[in-house]
Every structure is written in C-alpha cells, then in structure tokens.
Amino acid sequence: MPTILFLGAGSDMAVAMARKYAAQQYDIQLAARHAAALIPLQQDLIIRYGVNVTVHTFDATACDTHAAFFNALPVQPDITVCAFGYLGDQEQAQQHWQEAAAIIHTNYTGAVSILNVVAENYEARKTGTIIGISSVAGERGRQSNYIYGSAKAGFTAYLSGLRNRLFRSGVHVMSVQPGFVNTRMTQHLNLPPLLTASPEAVAAAVYKAGKRRKNSIYVKWHWKYIMLIIKLIPEGIFKKLKL
C-alpha cells in the first residue's frame, strides 16, 4: 500500500485529508509538534479504515531537525503533504518582530527546509509526490494580512520552482490554494458561505487533483476568477482599496 506523510497533521484540513487518503487504503504518517495529541486521530484512522498509521514529532520551525526527522521515518512516504501553517495576527506582526518571524518561519522557512530534504530524496528515487497547502493570500499582498500573505507567496513560488526542477525526475509537485475554509484557524472570522469550503471538500479536491497530477488548484471554482480579478486591478487603484 502507498504511504502518505502529513506534516502539520493536527490541522482540520490535514485531519480531513488523512481520512480521505485512509479511506482509499493509504497507510498514513502523521507528524506534528505534539505527537501525543495525534494519538486519537491515529486510533480513529485505524478503526475506521483499517490502515497502518504512525505518529511522529515534527517541529516546522526547528529546521536543523528536519533531515533527521525524514530519515527516521519507518517507511519513505510516496506522498508528502505540507499542511502546517500559522495565520498569526497581522497587527501584532507589524509591531513585534517575534510574531512576524513566527509567521514567516512557519509558513515559509520551515516549509522550504523540510521540502528540500523530501525533494532530494524523491529526486534520487525518481518517484514521489509533494503537495503544498499554500494560500490565496499569497497571490497579492493586502494590508490586512500581507505578512502571512508574503510568506505564502514565497511558498507558492518555491513550489512552482520545485515543480519545474523535479519534473524531469518524474516527481510531481502540486500547490493548493484552498481559499476560505471552515476550520479552527478561521472560526472567529465571518466568512462568506458561498466562498467557504469545508475541510472535507478540500480533502476531496486535493485527492482528486492529486490523482490527475494537477499542478495548482483552487478548491472552490469561484476563487480562480476572484483571484484573477484581484490580480488584474492596476496597482494605482489597488493601493487605495481597503482590503
């Protein structure tokens, strides 16, 4: 059976994706900062789907541990999903470097660090799939969340470069821009229902697109056009908008 690794497995989206892949009989590796907190999910996947599930400690911001982490996995995963992220607080991040650094290091530096390790492995083996959960926030900087957005922009650019590099080795890289998703990370926000996906919808879209080896996806089709419009607004006008 193929094996899939979830980095940042505690997030609502990762839980939904783990269930989706487990339902397709993938063996699952769950990794997050607090491995103990993943044990209920591990039991859940085993009981519901009868697959093998292991849990692993992984700290996205502890970059010097990443190579050791990956090499210590009991099985080299066929698919690696980079699902960790930190929304943070934009205003805090403007005033306090600590918050800005946390946003940048979780969403960008940490992701680059671990995926560098994974990419080397997959390139050498000439097989594997990398799925990166990025964000529509990375497509154009807006005053309300540009620190998070710029980290995700960096991550999206990283993924596209990686896709270009690994294409010749037969390794596939997919970027996912979920748009609004109903999760704990966003539960305090008032999100427009029409544009908001459930974690299960994200999981289904990722699974389907992964099968078809898509390069980059939005979960709800509206986002493709919304982002197209947002990207087409001339900067002279865009800078005056309250977004």
Active-site residues, by number, are: 148
Question: Cα–Cα distances in Å, from 218 out to 88, 116, 134, 225?
Answer: 22, 24, 10, 10
Collapse the DSSP code of 74 into the 3-class scheme (helix H, G, I; strand E, B; otherwise coil) and give the result. Answer: coil
One-letter identity of residue 84: F
The answer to whether 187 contacts other proteins (rule: CB under 8 A) is yes
Interface residue with other proteins, options 165, 184, 213, 222 (CB under 8 A):
184
Interface residue with other proteins, options 1, 2, 37, 243 (CB under 8 A):
37
The answer to whether 47 contacts other proteins (rule: CB under 8 A) is yes
The answer to whether 44 contacts other proteins (rule: CB under 8 A) is yes
Question: Cα–Cα distances in Å, from 99 out to 92, 93, 105, 165?
Answer: 6, 5, 10, 32
Q: Which is nearer to other proteins, 76 or 198 (CB)?
A: 198
Determine which helix (DSSP H) or strand (DSSP E) holds 166, and give its type and residue range: helix 146-166
Residue located via tokens 């970059």: 63
Determine which helix (DSSP H) or strand (DSSP E) holds 113, and give its type and residue range: helix 110-125
N-term to C-term CA, the chain: 46
Interface residue with other proteins, options 1, 75, 124, 189 (CB under 8 A):
189
Q: Which is nearer to other proteins, 39 or 228 (CB)?
A: 39
The answer to whether 194 contacts other proteins (rule: CB under 8 A) is no
Interface residue with other proteins, options 168, 190, 192, 234 (CB under 8 A):
190
Least distance (Å) between residue 184 CB and other proteins: 6
